[in-house]
Amino acid sequence: MSDLPLIQADRAVPPPAATTSTGGRRRRLRLLSRTDRVVVTLMVLVPLLIVTGFVWLPAAATVLLSGTNWDGIGPLNEIEFVGARNYSDVVNIYPPFVPAIQHNLLWLAVLFVVATPFGMFLAVLLDKELRGSRFYQTALYLPVVLSLALIGFVWQLLYSRDQGLINAVFGSNIDWYGDSNVNIWAVMVASGWRHVGYIMLLYLAGLKGVDPSLREAAAVDGASESRTFFRVVFPVLRPINIIVLVVTVIESLRAFDLVWVVNKGRNGLELISALVTQNVVGEASRIGFGSALATIMLVVSLVFITIYLATVMREDRQ
């Protein structure tokens, strides 16, 4: 949550000159008053407890439950351990699993290749101080603000086979939500619609922070607009680029709401997150099996999180 700004602010303090780093740190600690120390301790302890209690314990419990066949009925001490059976069932006899993995990857690819660059492109355009720039910003950012129920409804109006706007206008007969070859793309458009606005705003904020003198210097040197962007602005925006990248990865991994609204993640719209929900939440209560799916998802997420953290830490060290 607020750990990144803290690190950055820390960095902004000039390191004490001509002392070893350990010695410097010790002296700085001694400079803190008692109130400061209490505040610092609280600031570390409270988030630590929250993170442990609400993130790590449930995550560990999920991993533990994934080795059981608990169905939510009966006391906890009657839970039976079944080893890796849930995992072998997921891989071997659960037909939606493989499509779900494929769809998650496809989702990542489309957001990364199409939606994110398009959002960045829009940001660059809007950075040009066009007339009505605010209006465009609002219009493009609106999908991010709309509630999920509303978005599901809006797209249902467009995509419905018998009563939808698209088929009515073009006289076509495409089953946008029902045909499993088409519906993933239809939902992807809806999802991209939302993602573009998000990335645009994020990137626009970064662009506004670029020192104008850099651009002026490039212009004086005779660089064209696109050359200025790719050779000067883009490299300067490296931290923002990383954030955009991470946001894209996260958005594609946690993609859930739209497919859930459309058809509860079935028939061509399988996603890991939807499968977890189908199995665990609600009356189904296949808690062991669903936890196995959730654990798989956690492992996939960890891969990306590790890459991200490794990059950030390497940067910090430099």
Partner 1 sequence: MSRPRSQAEYLARLVPPSVAGINRRSLLAGAAGTGALLGTGLLAGCGDDSGSGGSSKDVSLGSNQSDPKPKDVLVKVTDGFKTSSGVQVAVNTVDHNTFQENINNYLQGKPDDVFTWFAGYRMRFFAQKGLASDISDVWSKLSGYSDAFKKASTGDDGKQYFVPASYYPWAVFYRKSVWKQYGYQVPTTLDQFTALGAQMKRDGLTPIAFADKDGWPAMGTFDILNLRINGYQFHIDLMAGKEAWTSDKVKKVFDTWAGLLPLHQPDSLGRTWQEAAQSLQQKKSGMYLLGLFVGQQFTTEEQDDLDFFTFPEIDPSIGAKALDAPIDGYMMARKPKNEDNARKLLEYFGGKDAADITVKNDPATLVANTGADVSGYTALQKKAAELVGSATEIAQFLDRDTRPDFASTVIIPAIQQFIKDPKDIGGLTSSIENQKKSIFTD
**Residue 176: phi, psi to the nearest 5?**
-55, -45
Burial environment of residue 289 by CB neighbours within 10 A (0 to 12, 13 to 18, 19 or more): buried
Q: Should residue 72 be labelled a site residue for partner 1 when binding is judged by CB under 8 A?
A: yes
304: which residues sit within 8 A by CB, 6+ positions away?
246, 249, 250, 253
* Rg (alpha carbons) of the chain, rounded to whole number: 25
Q: Should residue 218 be labelled a site residue for partner 1 when binding is judged by CB under 8 A?
A: no
The closest of 90, 50, 73 to 291, measured between CA atoms, is: 90
Beta bridge partners of residue 68, listed in sequence order: 81
> What residues from 83 to 112 belong to the interface with partner 1 (CB under 8 A)?
85, 89, 92-96
Q: Should residue 1 be labelled a site residue for partner 1 when binding is judged by CB under 8 A?
A: yes
When the beta carbons of 116 and 295 are compared against partner 1, the nearer one is 295
* Residue in 4, 40, 84, 217 binding partner 1, rule: CB under 8 A: 4
Beta bridge partners of residue 81, listed in sequence order: 68
* 270 and 68 Cβ atoms separated by less than 8 Å: no
Binding residue count for partner 1, defined by CB under 8 A: 84
Stretch that binds partner 1, among 19-27, 108-116, 226-234, 262-270 (CB under 8 A): 262-270
* Residue in 112, 146, 243, 257 binding partner 1, rule: CB under 8 A: 243
> What residues from 277 to 296 belong to the interface with partner 1 (CB under 8 A)?
278-287, 290-291, 294-295
Helices first, then strands: H and E counts in the chain: 18, 0
Stretch that binds partner 1, among 23-31, 121-129, 199-207, 227-235 (CB under 8 A): 199-207
Minimum distance between the CB of residue 222 and partner 1, rounded to whole angstroms? 25
When the beta carbons of 29 and 142 are compared against partner 1, the nearer one is 142
Q: Should residue 301 be labelled a site residue for partner 1 when binding is judged by CB under 8 A?
A: yes
> What residues from 19 to 58 belong to the interface with partner 1 (CB under 8 A)?
51, 54-55, 57-58
Stretch that binds partner 1, among 32-40, 110-118, 127-135, 153-161 (CB under 8 A): 153-161
When the beta carbons of 26 and 57 are compared against partner 1, the nearer one is 57
* 196 and 119 Cβ atoms separated by less than 8 Å: yes
* 195 and 111 Cβ atoms separated by less than 8 Å: yes
Minimum distance between the CB of residue 125 and partner 1, rounded to whole angstroms? 19
> What residues from 118 to 147 belong to the interface with partner 1 (CB under 8 A)?
none
Stretch that binds partner 1, among 19-27, 125-133, 135-143, 297-305 (CB under 8 A): 297-305
* Residue in 176, 193, 229, 260 binding partner 1, rule: CB under 8 A: 176
The closest of 270, 274, 272 to 257, measured between CA atoms, is: 274
* 154 and 186 Cβ atoms separated by less than 8 Å: no
Query: What's the CA gap between 96 and 52, in Å, rounded?
Result: 32
